[in-house]
Amino acid sequence: MNKRGEPLLMQSLITWTIVGILLVSFLLLLNNSSKDPYNKKQILAKEVCIIITAAPNNSVISVTSNLLIEKKDNNIVTKRYPQDPGYSYPCYSNNFTVTNENGKATIKITS
Amino acid sequence: MSNKILKNKKAAASYTIISFYRIMMIIIVCLVFVAVLWMQYSKPYDIRKLENAQIAKKVVLCMTNESLVLTQENFNEKTLNECIKTTSDVFLNLTFQGKSITSGRRELEVYCQVQTRVTGPYLPSCLDYNYSVLNSSHQTDQLNVFIALDKNSKNVQVIMNK
């Protein structure tokens, strides 16, 4: 066995292992940024708020999602489970009520 | 060759230092790369322009009773406040036939004027819309809707407190 190349081989191995770890963590970071529950909650809350703002009076909006949608002081709150503090977005241009049933949120625009 | 270098103690020491330096450089470059991307991807989605457009459309339809006919009698602050609930996050200014009506937080208008000279993350999103409506004599007239929307904390990355 050729022992001369051992230090160089070790150095290359260490270098490439570090680069590999960093690249994998970077790819995981990018992958999670789109699937991140916080991002999901934010996107849903903002989407719902825009729909509520655009909706005419007395309309009913049905939202099917694995997240819970609630109303708190005219804020749209999206949660993963009932105890989750969730993500809240102020949405006050219309009066509305939110009811959750069987994983489906129903938003009624009252005025 | 590397074995020869390693036999020389001084050369071996500098070889270790160079290796350490090389690894540190790679780590630093990668960390900076990841940090910059993280900062970019962790920004909240700014939907204020979309909201502004929806609010403007809603106000115009409401003020004209969805007929796009606007009369001076309907054009008052009471009707505007009935059309939309404004809070400290919004400022609305409607101009029609030389008359202006406003609702919401007036300071936001000043921030919008500042925005033409200064850019910053904590300034409101300001938009000016011109709608063609029919006046009482059923002729085309211009309705100007100016909207300033704050909601910075939910739409702009907050690095430090205001």
**Position B108 in a domain:** yes
**Position B161 in a domain:** no
Dist CA A42 CA A7 (whole Å): 50
- Neighboring chain A residues of B58 at a CB cutoff of 8 Å: 53-54, 93
Put simply, whether A43 touches B (Cβ < 8 Å) is yes
**Position B112 in a domain:** yes
Closest C-alpha among B47, B60, B62, B58 to residue B95:
B60
Q: Looking at the structure, do residues B32 and B104 belong to the same domain, yes or no?
A: no
- Is it the case that residue A3 has pLDDT exceeding 70? no
Residue B95 has which token pair? Answer: 């101009």
Put simply, whether A3 touches B (Cβ < 8 Å) is yes
Q: Residues of B near A (CB-CB distance < 8 A)?
A: 1-3, 6, 15, 19, 22-23, 26-27, 30-31, 33-34, 37-38, 41-42, 44-45, 47, 50-51, 54-55, 57-58, 84-85, 87, 89, 151, 154
Confidence at B29, pLDDT banded by 50, 70, 90? confident
Q: Looking at the structure, do residues B100 and B59 belong to the same domain, yes or no?
A: yes
Burial B74-100 (b: 16+ CB within 10 A, else e): bbeeebbeebbebeebbbbbbbbeeee
Instruction: Decide: pTM greater than 0.80.
Output: no
Global ipTM: 0.70
Task: Say how many C-beta atoms besides its own lie within 10 A of residue A69's C-beta.
Answer: 23
Q: Looking at the structure, do residues B146 and B73 belong to the same domain, yes or no?
A: yes
**CA of B3: which chain A residue's CA is closest?**
A4
Q: How far apart are the first and last CA of chain A?
A: 83
Q: Domain count of chain B?
A: 2
Per-residue pLDDT, A103: 78
**Which residue would you say has higher pLDDT here, B29 or A3?**
B29
Q: Looking at the structure, do residues B82 and B109 belong to the same domain, yes or no?
A: yes
CA-CA distances (angstroms) from residue A72 to A67, A77, B15, B51? 16, 7, 63, 19
Give the structural domain span for B23: 2-41
* Tens-digit pLDDT profile for residues B88-127: 889 999 999 999 999 999 999 888 888 878 777 778 899 9
**Position B162 in a domain:** no
